C-alpha cells in the first residue's frame, strides 16, 4: 500500500499556504469564533493503521456530519419504513432550502439536507424524551469511535437554538403537513444537539470505519449494521452528502462523504479506509473548501475511488 503517512504530510504541506481560504460559517454565532487556519486530517485503514497530521486531535463542531449517525440509528429502529418519511434523492438545492418541501408535501428529499435530518431526529425520538434521544445518539457515537470522551458542546447547541429560525421554519412546515410525530421544540432540541457534537478528525475517522468495512468496525469487532446497509448508507453519502455540491465532490473525489458547516468532512474508501478532514473555511455550497481539496489530493495519490483506479 502507498505510504499513507507520507501522503497526509505532503497534503498538509502543499495546502498550508492556502489555509484560511473560504468562509467560516457565522450564521451559528458560536462557530464564527473558530480559527480559519486550522487543518487536520486522519486516515484509519481497515487493518487498523492510523495516519494523521495537523490539528487532527482537536475537537471541532461536526454539524451535519452527525446526520450519518442519526440516519444509521433511525434505520436501526425503523428499518425500511424510514423511507416513508424521508426520500433518498439528491436535492440539487442548498442544505437549508425550503423550496422543495412545499411541492413534496413535507417529505424531505434526503436525510442529509436539514429538513431530512430533522425528519430523522423525529424518528430517533420515537419512544424517548428528547434528553433520552440525545443520550442515545451520544452513546452510539462513542460506541462507533470506541471513545467515551466524545461529547456535545452545549454552547454550540444553545447558539443554534437561539438563532436557528430557518430550521424552525422547516420543522413547522413539516409539522403542518403532519409529517412530524413530536413537538417541533423537541425534534429541534434533538437536531441542534446532535449537530453540536464536538469530535476530532481521529474520532470521526474511527466512527466511520464500519462503513469502510462492510458494516463491522474491525478495530472493535462490533457489527454495527449489515453489509447491505453499509453499502446503502455509502450510496446516500455519495449522492447527497454534499448538498448541491454532491456531483462536484463525486467528480473530484469519487468517494462517499459527508460534510458539515463546521468545516469537517468524513469520507469512506470502501474496503480500504475511512478519512476525516477539518478546515473551517467553506465554499459556496457550505462544504469545506480546503477539506475537499485535501480529499481530492488523497484520492489522486492513492487511486481510491468508487469509480475505478
Q: Which residues bind ligand GLN (CB under 6 A)?
A: 63-64, 95-96, 114, 160, 167, 195, 260-261, 286
In the complex, what is the shortest distance from the CB of residue 257 to ligand GLN, in angstroms, rounded to a whole number? 13
Determine the longest span between alpha carbons in the chain, in angstroms. 54
Q: What does the alpha-carbon distance between residue 152 and residue 289 come to, in Å, rounded to a whole number?
A: 25
From the CB of 112, what's the least distance to ligand GLN, in Å?
A: 9
Q: How far is CA 57 from the centre of its chain?
A: 18
Give 114 or 302: the residue with its C-beta nearer to ligand GLN.
114
Q: Which is nearer to ligand GLN, 4 or 86 (CB)?
A: 86
Count of CB atoms situated within 10 Å of the CB of 260:
29
Q: Which residue has 435530518 as its cell numbers?
A: 117
| Cβ atoms 43, 4 nearer than 8 A | yes
> CA angle, corner 152, sides to 148 and 153, nearest 5?
130
Dist CA 244 CA 233 (whole Å) = 18
Catalytic residues: 64, 67, 191, 243, 261
Give the rounded distance of the alpha carbon of 86 from its chain centre. 17
* Minimum CB distance to ligand GLN smaller for 95 or for 249: 95
Give whichever of 114 and 217 is closer to ligand GLN, judged by the CB atom: 114
Minimal distance, residue 283 CB to ligand GLN, in Å: 12
How near is the Cβ of 110 to ligand GLN at its closest, in Å?
Answer: 13
Amino acid at each position: 500500500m502507498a505510504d499513507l503517512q507520507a501522503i497526509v504530510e505532503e497534503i498538509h504541506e502543499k495546502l498550508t499556504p492556502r489555509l484560511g481560504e473560504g468562509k467560516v460559517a457565522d450564521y451559528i454565532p458560536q462557530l464564527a469564533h473558530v480559527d480559519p487556519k486550522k487543518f487536520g486530517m486522519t486516515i484509519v485503514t481497515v487493518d487498523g493503521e492510523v495516519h494523521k497530521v495537523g490539528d487532527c486531535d482537536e475537537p471541532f463542531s461536526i454539524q451535519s456530519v452527525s446526520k450519518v449517525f442519526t440516519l444509521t440509528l433511525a434505520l436501526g429502529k425503523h428499518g425500511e419504513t424510514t423511507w416513508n418519511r424521508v426520500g433518498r434523492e439528491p436535492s440539487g438545492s442548498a442544505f437549508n432550502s425550503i423550496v422543495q418541501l412545499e411541492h413534496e408535501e413535507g417529505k424531505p428529499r434526503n436525510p442529509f439536507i436539514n429538513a431530512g435530518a430533522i425528519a430523522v431526529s423525529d424518528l430517533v425520538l420515537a419512544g424517548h424524551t428528547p434528553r433520552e434521544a440525545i443520550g442515545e445518539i451520544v452513546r452510539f457515537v462513542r460506541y462507533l469511535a470506541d471513545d467515551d470522551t466524545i461529547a456535545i458542546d452545549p454552547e454550540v447547541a444553545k447558539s443554534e437554538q437561539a438563532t436557528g429560525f430557518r430550521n424552525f421554519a422547516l420543522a413547522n412546515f413539516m409539522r403542518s403537513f403532519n409529517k412530524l410525530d413530536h413537538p417541533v421544540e423537541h425534534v429541534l432540541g434533538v437536531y441542534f444537539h446532535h449537530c453540536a457534537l464536538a469530535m476530532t478528525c481521529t474520532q470521526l475517522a474511527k466512527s466511520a470505519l464500519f462503513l469502510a468495512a462492510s458494516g463491522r468496525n474491525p478495530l472493535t469487532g462490533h457489527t454495527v449494521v449489515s453489509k447491505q446497509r453499509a453499502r446503502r448508507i455509502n450510496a446516500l453519502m455519495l449522492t447527497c452528502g454534499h448538498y448541491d455540491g454532491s456531483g462536484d465532490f463525486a467528480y473530484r473525489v469519487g468517494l462517499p462523504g459527508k460534510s458539515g458547516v463546521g468545516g469537517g468532512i468524513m469520507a469512506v474508501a470502501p474496503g480500504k479506509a475511512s478519512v476525516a478532514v477539518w478546515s473551517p473555511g467553506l465554499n459556496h455550497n457550505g462544504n469545506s473548501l480546503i477539506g475537499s481539496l485535501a480529499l481530492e489530493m488523497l484520492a489522486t495519490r492513492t487511486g481510491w475511488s468508487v469509480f475505478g483506479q
